[in-house]
Amino acid sequence: MNRPLAALLCLAALSATPALAQHNAPKEAAPDKERGEQTAADYAAQGQEQLQARLAMQARNGKAKNLIIFIGDGMGVSTLTAGRIWQGQKAGRDGESTETAIDAMPYSALVKTYSHDFQVADSAATATALVTGTKTRSGILSVTPAALRGKCETAAGKDVPTLFEQAEGAGKALGLISTARITHATPASTYAHSVDRNWEADSELPAGATCHDIARQLVEWPHARGLKLVLGGGRAAFMPKDQTDPEYAGKKGSRADGRDLIAEWKKKHPKGQYIWNAAQFAALNPADNAPVMGLFEPSHMQFEADRANDQAGEPSLAEMVELAVKKLGSSEQGYVLMVEGGRIDHAHHGGNAHRALDDTIAFDAAIARALEMVNLDETLVLVTADHSHVFTIAGYPPRGNSIFGLASVTEDGEPITAKDGKAYTTLGYANGPGAKVGEQRADPAEEDTEALNYLQQSLVPTSGETHGGEDVVLKAAGPQAQLFHGTIEQHTIYHIAKHILGL
């Protein structure tokens, strides 16, 4: 994401809502064999159990009929770790030893995330690497690095075929799910070719530009049947400026050309179903072979922590994945599905670890749902992040300490202070809105660090927290998943997946 200020403003608006001011602290973890009470024999037994599981692993060497690629936007290693601990603590279990659905996947690799032109990349360049097999410049989508950002005249002949376009050519059904706007960088990389990721609606194009905006490219996608399933946010980019949003009376569309792309999609798919709320989603029949487009918000979908408060209701990420697997699974030629947990990234940009970790747990639940449903003899499941964040887990908190709590405490539970005489939290950021210019650092011991809207402290004051440049994790299960190992380039993921699909 390259709009951290927008994410920050969104979080600021949420923090003004009294009903969201508090979030329940984790339940007390169970005693004895959890929270650091294991014996040496317990650890030895656990190690042997994990060894035997690995010795018993059998590689699946056939081709994959289906591919599901889960992308946790901004879900770096520290987010995975903190999310695991919070998932366990939230359920009243030992957080540190919790095993998530992501943890349980058998094969792993580290992925380099730099782009063609930046050490620390944005989501457009990283998504392009994942779906086209080539690195490109930050800020542009599924075009070669010979194109220049914001320069329409450099775009001609620079499109790079995406995995989705090639899968469509092989007769596979296509699905796209995101909790962000469906025209946002990661989902847009699958169907759009643009020299600027921000050109989501025509109103964002520069005067005289001949390029097509991203929403228009989705509806006009020229490849055979098009996307069979599209679920996410971002309906404003499909609506004309004079059209009132169906959910929010004070909001309108963002298109300046007067086109109603939702109406055009309905005309293009006369048997298709367009939905925008939870009730309509619940009424869908997965056995119906007709296309579905669901746009649940004018912009991004709600954070998981706020979803229950949405006035029209939104499905969970796991519910959307379940629909997708059922609906796409009827395709005789197989399917390709991308699922993005897009709001992990937005919460981190806002310096709000609580929402980032709640969305990480929801993302893991969606992966668990998919793994329960698919046949791994014919379906390759990949889980990765596009990039990391400058999100840290620090200090020496005792085992079982709340992940949102103070980092170091004495045996009596008193906080151990830093050199400025103040406590500090386990979670923090290297930069972001949690640092104040010209102000002394607040003492977290005097604040409610468990609150949903709490912004973790940061070292460098910036309007929005930034991406991180370290490698991210990739997990794999299914046919030839063993090919994902070691440290690989991000664009290599495309080439391995394409090989396994036989495209």
What is the secondary structure of 442-484 as a DSSP string?
Answer: P-GGGS-TTSTTPPPPEEEE-SS--EE-S-EEEEEESTTGGGS
123 catalytic residue (yes or no): yes
How far is 195 from 189, CA to CA, in rounded Å? 11
Residues 106, 470 contacting (CB under 8 angstroms): no
Q: Where does the pLDDT of residue 309 fall: very low under 50, low under 70, confident under 90, or very high at 90 and above?
A: very high
How far is 305 from 359, CA to CA, in rounded Å? 8
Q: What share of the chain is helix, strand, coil (3-state, %, to 5)?
A: 30, 15, 50
The per-residue pLDDT for range 240-279, each reduced to its tens digit, is 999 999 999 999 999 999 999 999 999 999 999 999 999 9
* pLDDT recorded at residue 402: 96
Question: Is 260 labelled a binding residue?
Answer: no
Question: Is 304 labelled a binding residue?
Answer: no
Question: Is 386 labelled a binding residue?
Answer: yes
Domain boundaries, the chain: 66-390+468-501, 395-465
Averaged over 329-356, what is the pLDDT?
Answer: 98
Of 123, 178, 194, 408, which one is the catalytic site residue? 123
Lowest mean pLDDT of 5-14, 36-45, 164-173, 217-226, name the range.
5-14
Question: Is 184 labelled a binding residue?
Answer: yes
How far is 161 from 503, CA to CA, in rounded Å? 12
What lies within 8 Å, CB to CB, of 417 at 6+ separation is 423
Averaged over 84-91, what is the pLDDT?
Answer: 98
Nearest to 110 by CA among 83, 151, 90, 80: 80
Question: Is 212 labelled a binding residue?
Answer: no
CATH superfamily of the 66-390+468-501 domain: Alkaline Phosphatase, subunit A (3.40.720.10)
Question: Is 359 labelled a binding residue?
Answer: no
Averaged over 319-339, what is the pLDDT?
Answer: 98
Mean pLDDT across the chain: 93
Residue located via tokens 């887990």? 393
Query: Residue 344: is its pLDDT beyond 50?
Result: yes
- Cα dihedral 62→64→69→70 (10° resolution): -60
Interior angle at CA 350, CA 344 and CA 354, nearest 5: 55
DSSP class of 122: -
Question: Is 213 labelled a binding residue?
Answer: no
How far is 99 from 440, CA to CA, in rounded Å? 39
Q: How far is CA 437 from the centre of its chain?
A: 31
Averaged over 351-369, what is the pLDDT?
Answer: 99
* pLDDT recorded at residue 26: 35
